[in-house]
Structure 1
Amino acid sequence: MSDPTGAPAPPARSRRGLRRLASQAVEDAQLAHPRTVLVSLGLLCALILGGALIPVPYVIEQPGPAIDVLGEYRDEQIVQIDGVETYPTDGSLMMTTVSVDGGPGYVVTPVDVVVSWFDRSRAVMPRELMFPPDQTREQATLDNAVQMSTSQQGAVAVALEELGIEYEPVVMIAGVQQGAPADGHLEPGDVLLEIDGETAADLPGFQALVRGAEEGRALPITVRRDDQEVALEVPTEIVDGTPRLGVVLSEGYDFPMDVEIAVGDIGGPSAGMIFSLSVYDELTPGALTGGRAIAGTGTISPDGTVGSIGGIRQKMVGARDADAEFFLAPRDNCDQVLGYEPDGLEVVAVGSFDEALRATETIAATGGVDGLPTCEDQ
């Protein structure tokens, strides 16, 4: 007998042996297959899980709290003015904030990014657009604190300028780097009076006095702190061949009254306009808002210009969630505002403190925004 190919057929005993071998092979495969599948699935899950937890170079912006600057934050009155008559007020002037995930020292994963893509209240962007590549968590914290401090100083100055109240320029300590030579000696808010027995008329002058210090020698520094002169011996260190104290100096102002703005560890410059309005409100009779809930954002420059900020969409959502009725937005942010205004929130475009003040007064008087510029007008 031959098979269809013409090859001789194997003997019967050989055929029985082949059947046994084939049967054993099938049984072995049936036993091995589930183990292979389980191992493969385990490896796949491990790869997926590991990939999901790998940090990625992105940051995620999402709405932060909207805080009424006329009220309290963490059981402390936010705006405190002493040494001059102030007036009771009503309504709300809310500073708006953005929570940022993925900054220096913090991790964002692919899962975080994917989830944020499907949430209109969040924004995903490359980390390098917001933070220098080598910036540490401590440096980012210091930068935010310095921006907040200088923003508050400028905001008070703009409000007093509007009211015709005079003040004097000074050079101040805006921030102290953690672990730096000046840490524990100088404090944010100290006003520089003398360095090594000499004074200066401006910021570059005081910076030159620090650079002229002898290597390894502590600098005698006199500051004004809490209305008292304080004499200190502050160590220095050499960085890139130049003596450093480890502080950030900035231009500030000597006001004829004590103004404190306390917002905890919130940083950045974007509350400047709202701070200016709140100080103006406290120093003038009546409620500037007319009892309305008004939120807003925008930097403030010494000439009163309201500047653009980041995270405007998230800030509008935060304002709406805090029951704000109206929102003052920097005119230069209008391209990010259009089409993203939350329902129930009236947005007014402003480009200066005078425009923000006029908008607030109009809202107080009319309860609406008729006649005020919107982003659609820009």
Structure 2
Amino acid sequence: MTDQPTPPTRTRGVRPLLSKAVDDAQFARPRLALVSLGLLCVLILGGALMPVPYVIERPGPAIDVLGEYQDEKILVIEGAETYPTEGELMMTTVSVDGGPGYRVTPVEVIAAWFDRTKQVLPREAVFPEGQTREQTTLNNTAAMSTSQQGAVAVALEELGIEYRDVVMVAGVQEDGAAADTLEGGDVLVAVDGRTAADVEGFRSLIAAVPAGEDVPLTIRRGGEEMDLQVPTADVDGTARMGVILSAGYEFPMDVHLAVGDIGGPSAGMMFSLSVYDELTPGALTGGHAIAGTGTISEDGTVGAIGGIRQKMVGAADTDAEFFLAPSANCQDVVGYEPDDLQVVAVSTFDEALTATETIAETGSAEGLPTCEDVTAK
């Protein structure tokens, strides 16, 4: 009797298959984990670098208006007697990350949230929606030009020096139709022989020219009248030169303020003090380093500005001793004053002038109004 071979059982056949499946799974699991980790890293990195609709304000430089900027003397007055001075009158600035044409990332925004010297704001709170980088530059240049004109007027008014109102070119768009013809500071005299009393009047005369045709324009530049044929572009059926017109002034002396590509109106008060200083004997500051900020209106009112906390930090970093702050900004000042920086609240040019003269005489801001005084009222 012959023994029959034992048939393979189901158990013996399944066990090798299970073992192989386990081995394959153990081999595949690290590869799957690595792929998943790689994808996760890509997603995290992409999210971290993705632009977000915010801007970050950080301290910019504090610049002595009585000194130089980018190797050029900032304030130059010709045609009037000026006097040597000393000390510093600093305009303060804010650097903005994330404006038109630029973007910030979530990583930058989160880091700024934890930095007391920086401020995070929605982009639309600082820049109008749809505004381009070129438009931002033009608007800032025009605002700076208008601010400088108003600042000089306030200083001359304080000194009893007469000047006259005009309509001027405050800014020229780089790629605008008039870019090669008009310059910032040009005074409008007439359009095709007709004159106007204000900005709106000149705009109406220019708009009456057929779109795309040259505008016969008489201007005054450097005290001399010039007749120009200024090209226009057709913008929605209206003739546009690509310039910003504003109310301005003609002075009995030439006052030039050079601050490079810095724009905006917030240095008005410090410009006024600097012009006043150079046109009067002695050092207005008494040799002290005084920084400040604030717009200036024709009646001498000092207006609120943005980025006051960042400007105080920039002033302190430049070793300013005193800081003149608009009273309208005092709510944002209290509790954020840098150490060793004495902050004085001012609401008019006369108050700023009095504060500066007091500091010059006493070397202290004691007795001058503070932002704590203003907010306590």
**Shorter chain as normaliser: what TM range?**
over 0.9
Q: Matches of residues 171-210 of structure 1 in structure 2 within 5 Å?
A: 171-210=167-206
Partner deviation per Cα, 1:208-247 (whole Å, 9 max, x = no partner): 2112213443111111112222211012233233222211
Tell me, in whole angstroms, the C-alpha distance in 2 between the residues paired with 1:12 and 1:151. 99
* AA of the residue aligned to 1:337: V
Q: What is the aligned partner in structure 2 of residue 348 from structure 1?
A: 344
Q: What is the aligned partner in structure 1 of residue 266 from structure 2?
A: 270
Q: What is the aligned partner in structure 2 of residue 4 from structure 1?
A: none
SS in 2 for 1:209: helix
Tell me, in whole angstroms, the C-alpha distance in 2 between the residues paired with 1:329 and 1:307. 10
Tell me, in whole angstroms, the C-alpha distance in 2 between the residues paired with 1:268 and 1:234. 27
Tell me, in whole angstroms, the C-alpha distance in 2 between the residues paired with 1:53 and 1:254. 50
User: Closer, same or farther in 2 for the Cα pair 1:216/1:21, shift >3 Å?
Assistant: closer
Q: What is the aligned partner in structure 2 of residue 314 from structure 1?
A: 310
* AA of the residue aligned to 1:373: P
SS in 2 for 1:238: strand
Tell me, in whole angstroms, the C-alpha distance in 1 between the residues paired with 2:321 and 2:204. 49
Determine which of 13, 20, 26 is the counterpart of 1:24. 20
Q: Matches of residues 210-289 of structure 1 in structure 2 within 5 Å?
A: 210-289=206-285
Q: What is the aligned partner in structure 2 of residue 80 from structure 1?
A: 76
Matched-pair contact (CA < 8 Å) for 2:213–2:239: no
* AA of the residue aligned to 1:82: E
How many Å apart are 1:292 and its aligned residue? 0.4
Tell me, in whole angstroms, the C-alpha distance in 2 between the residues paired with 1:349 and 1:215. 50
Tell me, in whole angstroms, the C-alpha distance in 1 between the residues paired with 2:236 and 2:158. 44
Tell me, in whole angstroms, the C-alpha distance in 2 between the residues paired with 1:342 and 1:223. 48
The answer to whether structure 1 residue 53 and structure 2 residue 49 are counterparts is yes
Determine which of 29, 33, 38 is the counterpart of 1:33. 29
* AA of the residue aligned to 1:15: T
Identity %: 71
* AA of the residue aligned to 2:326: P
Tell me, in whole angstroms, the C-alpha distance in 1 between the residues paired with 2:8 and 2:333. 87
**Worse overlay, 216-225 or 90-99:** 216-225
* AA of the residue aligned to 2:167: V
Tell me, in whole angstroms, the C-alpha distance in 2 between the residues paired with 1:216 and 1:163. 46
Partner deviation per Cα, 1:113-151 (whole Å, 9 max, x = no partner): 011011100000100101111100000000000000000
How many Å apart are 1:197 and its aligned residue? 1.2
* AA of the residue aligned to 1:64: G
* AA of the residue aligned to 1:155: A
Q: What is the aligned partner in structure 1 of residue 3 from structure 2?
A: none
Q: What is the aligned partner in structure 2 of residue 3 from structure 1?
A: none
Determine which of 350, 372, 376 is the counterpart of 1:376. 372
Matched-pair contact (CA < 8 Å) for 2:211–2:240: no
Tell me, in whole angstroms, the C-alpha distance in 1 between the residues paired with 2:84 and 2:174. 39
Determine which of 118, 123, 127 is the counterpart of 2:123. 127
SS in 1 for 2:9: helix
Tell me, in whole angstroms, the C-alpha distance in 1 between the residues paired with 2:136 and 2:209. 28
Give ranges in structure 2 of 5+ residues lacking alignment. 1-6
The answer to whether structure 1 residue 294 and structure 2 residue 290 are counterparts is yes
Tell me, in whole angstroms, the C-alpha distance in 1 between the residues paired with 2:198 and 2:17. 96
* AA of the residue aligned to 2:180: G
User: Closer, same or farther in 2 for the Cα pair 1:24/1:92, shift >3 Å?
Assistant: same
TM-score (norm 1): 0.96
* AA of the residue aligned to 1:151: S
Tell me, in whole angstroms, the C-alpha distance in 1 between the residues paired with 2:252 and 2:367. 37
Q: What is the aligned partner in structure 1 of residue 4 from structure 2?
A: none
Measured on the aligned residues, the alpha-carbon RMSD in Å equals 1.1
**Worse overlay, 142-151 or 195-204:** 195-204
Tell me, in whole angstroms, the C-alpha distance in 2 between the residues paired with 1:354 and 1:183. 39
Tell me, in whole angstroms, the C-alpha distance in 1 between the residues paired with 2:237 and 2:20. 80
The answer to whether structure 1 residue 144 and structure 2 residue 140 are counterparts is yes
Number of residue pairs the alignment of both structures matches: 368
Tell me, in whole angstroms, the C-alpha distance in 2 between the residues paired with 1:300 and 1:177. 25
Q: What is the aligned partner in structure 2 of residue 166 from structure 1?
A: 162
Moved over 4 A (4+): none
SS in 2 for 1:371: coil
How many Å apart are 1:13 and its aligned residue? 2.9
Give ranges in structure 1 of 5+ residues lacking alignment. 1-10
Q: What is the aligned partner in structure 2 of residue 105 from structure 1?
A: 101
* AA of the residue aligned to 1:349: A
**Worse overlay, 96-105 or 226-235:** 226-235
**Worse overlay, 228-237 or 70-79:** 228-237
Matched-pair contact (CA < 8 Å) for 2:269–2:302: yes
